[in-house]
Amino acid sequence: MALELVGALIAAAALGLFAWALRRWFPGLPKWLVPVAAGLGLIGTTVVLEYGWYARVSAQLPPGYQVVHVENQSMPLRPWTYLWPIHMGFVALDASKTMTHPQVPTLRMVTLYSFARWKPVEQALMAVDCAASRRVLVTAGVEITAEGQLRGGEWQVVEPDDTLQEAACREG
C-alpha cells in the first residue's frame, strides 16, 4: 500500500513538472494546467494500480493453484466501476493439498486461499462432496467422521458448473 502511494505521488509530481516545463516553453498555456496534470497523474496511477492488482497477484500464484472465484465490485466513489467493475478479491484452490477421504472416494478436503485488496491472505479448509454436488466450510466444531459423515455443519448444494466444485473434484 505504501509503495502504491509513493508511486502515485511520483506520477503526480512527474506530470505536474512536465506541465510546468510546457508552460515555461509555451508561456500562453494556462496556469491551471500544472495542478490538473498532477491530479490526472495521481488519479490515473491509482486507477491503473487498482485494475492491475488482480492480474499481478494471480500471476504470482505458485503452480497448482487455481482461481475458483473472483469478486467484482462497483463503488459510488469510483463511478467508472459501474461500467468496468473492479476485481477486489478472489479465492484460489491449492490442488497439491487436495485430500480424498479414505472411506468415501468422492469426498474431498481442499485448501482455499482468499485474497482481497488491502487485506492479508486467509486460508480455509472446505469439504467437497463430488457425488452430491455439495460442500461445507470446515470451521471450529465442523468435522468429517471416519465414515465420511458430516458433524456440526450443514452442506451447501452447488450448481453443476461451479468452478470450485469442478476444481476440487478433478482427478489428478
DSSP track, 62-91: PTTEEEEEEEEE-BTTBGGGGTS-EEEEEE
pLDDT digits (tens, 9 = 90+) for 116-139: 988 999 999 999 998 888 899 988
User: Residue 164, CB half-sphere, CA atoms under 13 Å: how many?
Assistant: 27
The CATH code for residues 65-169 is 2.40.128
Do 65 and 77 touch, CB atoms closer than 8 A?
no
Model confidence at 172, in pLDDT bands (50, 70, 90)? low
pLDDT digits (tens, 9 = 90+) for 48-76: 988 999 999 999 999 989 999 999 999 89
- pLDDT value at position 60? 94
Cα angle vertex 68, ends 142, 144, to 5°?
20
Beta strands in the chain (DSSP E): 65-73, 86-100, 107-116, 122-129, 134-138, 143-144, 150-151, 156-157
Q: Where are the domains of the chain?
A: 2-59, 65-169
Helix/strand/coil for 94: strand
- pLDDT value at position 4? 83
**What's the rounded Cα separation, in Å, for the pair 31 and 84?**
33
Do 128 and 110 touch, CB atoms closer than 8 A?
yes
Do 158 and 129 touch, CB atoms closer than 8 A?
no
- pLDDT value at position 83? 92
Length of the chain: 172
User: Residue 97, CB half-sphere, CA atoms under 13 Å: how many?
Assistant: 16
